[in-house]
Amino acid sequence: MCGIVAYYGPDRAYDFLIKGLQRLEYRGYDSAGIALLNGDLRVYKNKGKVSELVDLTKGKNLEGNRGIGHTRWATHGEPNTINAHPHLSQDGDLALIHNGIIENYATLKKALQERGHIFKSDTDTEVLIHLIEEIQKAEQVNLFEAVRLALNEVVGAYAIVILSERDPNTLIAARKGSPLVVGISDRDGEYFIASDATPIVEYTRKVTYLNDGEIVSINEGNMTLKTIENVEKSPFIQNLEISLDALEKGGFEHFMLKEIFEQPKSIFDSMRGRFDKENLTFAMRSLQEFESKIKNLDRIIIVACGTSWHAGLVGEYLIEEFSRLPVEVEYASEFRYRNPIVNEDDLVIAISQSGETADTLAAMELAKERGATIYGICNVVGSSIPRMTHAGAYTHAGPEIGVASTKAFTAQVTVLTLLALGIADIRGKITTERLREVFAELDNIPQKVETLLEACADEVIKIAECYKDARNFLYLGRGYNFPVALEGALKLKEISYIHAEGYPAAEMKHGPIALIDEEMPVVVIATKRNYYEKVLSNIQEVKARKGKIIAIVTEGDEKVKEIADHTIEIPDTEDCLTPILATIPLQLLSYHIAVMRGCNVDQPRNLAKSVTVE
């Protein structure tokens, strides 16, 4: 939520800032702004997207080789130009960009107002820069020290960068709870700062990820790292492995479509080298290292949000089926506030694409405090969640830029499948015969996804044409396909703004059936190996009330075809692997409906991809 970038070096900062903000726009796109320093400090900011900021800056003085930039997802104050970042100190000397929330801003603001500070915006960020200014003047300290002292008074989360007109050779950045990466160029005295590594990779592969409570100071071209307690630290420099192609649309109209079509590869990459289908062995370090812990587990708790929570539900079914361990799946936001029972023999699995979701991080922290072992399934390398875990596995889906999650979901389910099989194997709950069968089919999945993407394309577009103007949609599924129904409905509402609900097919009669009439499209996942006859009855119940059925069926199905209005065939597979295949046409259906309705599929309104506020 909110993306920040900063440049310090010999070149014009503007070019890096704009390109960087465009890469980070998935984090929020309510407003955008930059501050450039070239003798004087100039701020350009605007409501709307980065492209509108580019229009605003046309013909303006864009010189300066220090600069900061921000793209906003509003928390405090409506998304208008005044509330856009950067924010200035009272005397205009300091400019600040901020991602996060200053929780005690109201108290700080009141005290500052009593001492004569006048605020222009409604933001918590403006309060912070006034506080820094006040401390700098009162204590007669340098900018680093003023920032450090101010941060000691702040409660909340932040990733910040500050520029000063009076001190043009200094740039200060700090983090707590919101991510921040510093790129170190091969050219002396050149640094790039951003919320994630995607703006940086084009310029340097050498980066350091800040830890919570760390402040970076770039002064006269040299970088120093300290904690907010003033303890010096040496930065841990690592190499980025992101490919630049992964950050471009590569000929597709939208990132979302590109990411849907990348799934044969992202699923393959998420399983590659992690199991041996001939020898029936696993090569997942996290499983080997935690073998004794896994043997003694009492229970598994999965915490996640959004689409990752849906993957968690599939995980529950997988783990309970294969290893007969009880699993609870929790919304991270609920878990953290309800004093849950967590024990030392629990394994808590946190699932997250971004690795930065504030609620998931807080849930992990709570579980860790109570002695549980924390396992992370995460996509973004080096992000906060994997750094907080005891063990874990990356999903290797590559950068996901479309705000609605697609390839991350199928990659998460792939990793969860391997984890479920691995736990079952360690606990002696799966026969070699069964392991052989599932491994063999898992190995076929990327190819099946490839075939499916091609085979269903035309039918999905036809169906989208028929229902693009619907006001409501219902999605039904049973067993492994229930989370798929939830995910299908979420995808549709996120990007097309059509109200959609996912339901267990059998629960329909306890409520949603009242909504069914000739206007209501009902998407039913009715695959052969998954309660087929039962789902068939649910389809009949919808038809009897004149609802329109869009059925996801197994290749060669005849029975559902006879009664459904539309069918989309998916290749036959193991019941437990159906979610990976059944999700694909639902992603495409949402995508095409949203495009036909003229919606911005990559940046749907009000949403952000990386939710760093609770």
Instruction: Specify whether the CB–CB gap between 271 and 419 falls below 8 A.
Output: no
Binding part of the chain for ligand G6P, among 74-82, 228-236, 352-360, 535-543 by CB under 6 A, reads 352-360
353-382: which residues touch ligand G6P (CB under 6 A)?
353-354, 357, 360
Strand 94-102 with 373-378, pairing: unpaired
Query: Which residue among the candidates 45, 176, 407, 609 is catalytic per the annotation?
Result: 609
207-266: which residues touch ligand G6P (CB under 6 A)?
none
Instruction: Specify whether the CB–CB gap between 145 and 171 falls below 8 A.
Output: no
Q: Whose CA is closest to 303, among 278, 273, 337, 328?
A: 328
- Please name every residue paired with 232 in a beta bridge, in sequence order, or none if there are none: 226
- The reply to whether 611 sits near ligand G6P by the rule CB under 6 A is yes
Query: Which residue among the candidates 2, 305, 378, 599 is catalytic per the annotation?
Result: 2
Interacting residue with ligand G6P among 557, 609, 612, 613 (CB under 6 A): 609
Report residue 525: phi and psi, to 5°: -95, 110
In angstroms, give the least distance from the CB of 209 to ligand G6P.
Answer: 16
Cβ distance to ligand G6P smaller for residue 519 or 614: 614
Please tell me the distance from the alpha carbon of residue 370 to that of residue 368, in angstroms, as a whole number.
Answer: 5
Question: Is residue 456 annotated as part of the catalytic site, yes or no?
Answer: no
- The reply to whether 195 sits near ligand G6P by the rule CB under 6 A is no
In angstroms, give the least distance from the CB of 352 to ligand G6P.
Answer: 3
Cβ distance to ligand G6P smaller for residue 268 or 309: 309
Question: Is residue 2 annotated as part of the catalytic site, yes or no?
Answer: yes
- The reply to whether 495 sits near ligand G6P by the rule CB under 6 A is no
Please tell me the distance from the alpha carbon of residue 608 to that of residue 465, in angstroms, as a whole number.
Answer: 28
Size of the site for ligand G6P (CB under 6 A): 15
Provide the mask over 396-415, with x wherever binding to ligand G6P is found by CB under 6 A and - wherever it is not.
-------xxx----------
Q: Considering Cα of 333, then 337, then 341, then 345, what sign does the dihedral take?
A: positive
Render 66-88 in DSSP notation, one character per residue. Answer: EEEEEEE--SSS-SSTTTSSPEE
Cβ distance to ligand G6P smaller for residue 270 or 354: 354
What residue is closest to ligand G6P based on CB? 306
286-325: which residues touch ligand G6P (CB under 6 A)?
305-308
Cβ distance to ligand G6P smaller for residue 127 or 332: 332
Q: Which residues of 208-220 are buried (b: 16+ CB within 10 A; e: fewer)?
A: bbbbbbbbbbbbe
Please tell me the distance from the alpha carbon of residue 34 to that of residue 7, in angstroms, as a whole number.
Answer: 11
- The reply to whether 23 sits near ligand G6P by the rule CB under 6 A is no
- The reply to whether 5 sits near ligand G6P by the rule CB under 6 A is no
Instruction: Specify whether the CB–CB gap between 66 and 2 falls below 8 A.
Output: no
Instruction: Specify whether the CB–CB gap between 353 and 388 falls below 8 A.
Output: no
Cβ distance to ligand G6P smaller for residue 208 or 353: 353
Active site residues: 2, 609
Which residues of this protein are in contact with ligand G6P, per CB under 6 A? Answer: 305-308, 352-354, 357, 360, 403-405, 607, 609, 611
